[in-house]
Structure 1
Amino acid sequence: MLTIRGFQHVLIALIFASAAMGAHALDYSKISSSGLSKNSARMKPWPPEDATRCGVDLFYPALKNFFDQEIKPECVGSYHSKEGAGIVFDYTFGSDPQETQKSIDISVIPIGIDKFVGTSNQKKSSVVEIVDGQPRVMHWAGLGNECHNLLRTSITPISTTNWQGWTVEDVYGKSRIKTRDCRIFSPEYRCISFVVGNSEMSAEFGGACFPRKRTLSLNNGISYDLFMKMVKSIRFREP
């Protein structure tokens, strides 16, 4: 026969078991069906037809615009041509039907990185140049100082197992000018350009500003961390 004291022990055990199961369920509620946290962007592989034309494999953030349409980059041209190809990410962003158009264009050039940033090559980088063995920001690179709040421009090495190169970042302070551009050239955004490559191929990005704060919405465009996650996933198919 179950005594009153025994019943109390059973009741307490049931309460703790229920709480543990609730906590366990709460942990799983944070995981989406794809196995990723709901606070993480799902990175999708670039379609084979685009990757083949551009000679580049990559993963891009599978985000949706106001109209619930998934955005994705496309390959324009062919990396086999003299002009090279382009990874073009055209999308609209905003929180209402009057969205803003944005285009991210990354050029893919069939020239090794050493030649592309060298001073003697006819077709060369517009972002970085190697002078006396040291990387130097081209004087026309970056996004300028139209809001009179550019604090500095920095150059930073970047690499993966497939390529190496540099990012160039314009760092802005607060501006008293209240135009839309000056709201973007601000501490709330990171404004970068880059050039990367290996012995056979290079990729160059002329520059754009991305929201510094991580977000999965497109209210203000793709955030900096998601853009860089895509960039670091780039893998040249040659050599």
Structure 2
Amino acid sequence: MYTRVVRLETAADVSRVVAAQLLAKIIELQRTQDTVHLCLTGGNAANAMYEQFAELADGSALDASKLQLWWGNEHFVPTTDPARNSLQAISRLARTVSIKSADTHMMAAKDGRKDSQESAAEYEEELGDTRFDITLLGIGNDGHVASIFPGHPSFDPTTSRAVIGVEDSPMAPSERISLTIPTLNRGAEMWIMAAGAAKADAVRRSLEGDESIPAAHVRGRNATLWFLDAAASAGLPAQYTCTF
């Protein structure tokens, strides 16, 4: 297992490079695998990347019929709420990438369900022992990943649960659903995106192994890649440098 830090200049560069590398990696995997499992994330950096990915995928060798899409976390809101990570991702990807609904594993919405714990249990059953080929994550200013927050009951690096309902989240909305750290870490490759000066401290602490924040605990079984703009990587020493 290795960790690679890719330092880029701007947030737009992060979106562009991650989109290009993700498309290339998926096409490479599809040459030898019938199915590629991709775990998606939410946030501004991810949404910008999905837009870039859709543009690059148009006319490429991507075989969308071999893709299975999952999510690392979701806001526990009604189905049509624009805050849903899944709606934000699909609305961008679907511009050029046609993925069957049966291959799009969105976390259950609030409609008709008692609470986020019920939806989490449903997703845990659907997920089973799936191992992601690539897991995409963002990182919060406080070092949270998915909907796992520092100093919060959601943060349990050794939990036996695969998916949890999150209540009283320190960020709106207060109810969420999230994969746990052990579930995220069973994927082959972890790709983490961060842009902006507000992320710099959390990025530095994560790479230094500060175990008080969730982002320090996530890693891929084979590889962990950090894609950072200049502002987000400003707190890192010079040896954290790699470019594609």
Q: TM-score, normalised by structure 2?
A: 0.27
Normalized per residue, which structure has more helix? 2
Name which one, 1 or 2, has greater alpha-carbon Rg.
1
Structure with the larger RCO, 1 or 2 (CA within 8 Å, 6+ apart): 2
